[in-house]
Amino acid sequence: MDQANPFETPRTFSLHRAEYLVGLAVTTGLIVWHFTDIRWLPAIGLFLYIDLIGYIPGAIAFRRSGGRAPIHKGYYVAYNVMHSLITQGAVAALWCWLVGPEWALLVLPFHLFGDRGLFGNFMKSYALPFEPVRQSGYLRLLDDLGLQHPKPVGHASDPVAVGHVPGAGARPLDVSVPAGREATR
């Protein structure tokens, strides 16, 4: 769900991130190889616009709330849309059609692979704070699995967890075993 609360074990989360690190290495190699062929002004603009639209507004809203109140879901949608390989693939295709193919487009996957591989930033869930804060439910899951808690991400210690208030129709998940059925492991 985020780097502080992956819905994976710490090992599988690391392996998932490693796949993106390979993509980051490939795009970095291509950028270095074609360094003189890249138009750097468009490349910098393409790299930055993802966060200017998709991350910075939500981060500002989260910080303004002091991390104590939920922020509008639109910030999550903007982040997820802008940090999607599908969206950036469409942007690259549109760029190729309107401007022409060029090496500057390498910064699009470079940005996304870096976010996911280096920082563990994947899509944002409405149920969690915009910035990663470990949730007690995730820590209980690790305890139930007998796994060690990873160190806090991006914080000296774990801040108080906040997230969106569940909608009126939300109710706790019933994990009880139906009568007559025995739980198996």
pLDDT value at residue 160:
53
73, amino acid identity:
K
Place of tokens 């990663």: 132
pLDDT for position 24: 98
- Looking at the domain assignment, is residue 151 inside a domain? no
For residue 136, what pLDDT is reported?
Answer: 74
In a domain, 45, yes or no: yes
Residues 6+ apart with CB under 8 A from 81: 54, 87
Token pair of 115 as six digits: 């976010």
Instruction: Note the pLDDT of residue 6.
Output: 66
pLDDT for residue 135 = 74
**Is 156 inside any structural domain?**
no
Instruction: Give the domain range for residue 53.
Output: 10-145
Residue 152 has what pLDDT?
A: 62
Indicate whether 160 belongs to any domain.
no
Number of domains in the chain: 1
Tokens 């139930």 correspond to: 144
Is there a domain that residue 164 lies in?
no
Quote the pLDDT of residue 184. 47
Residue ranges of the chain whose pLDDT lies below 70? 1-2, 4-7, 150-185
Centre a 10 Å sphere on the Cβ of residue 112 and count the other Cβ atoms it contains.
22
- pTM to 2 decimals? 0.76
Domain assignment present for 72: yes
Query: Whole-angstrom Cα distance, residue 171 to residue 35?
Result: 54
Q: 75 and 61 in contact (C-beta within 8 Å)?
A: yes
Q: Which of 179, 134, 146, 154 is nearest to 59 (CA)?
A: 154
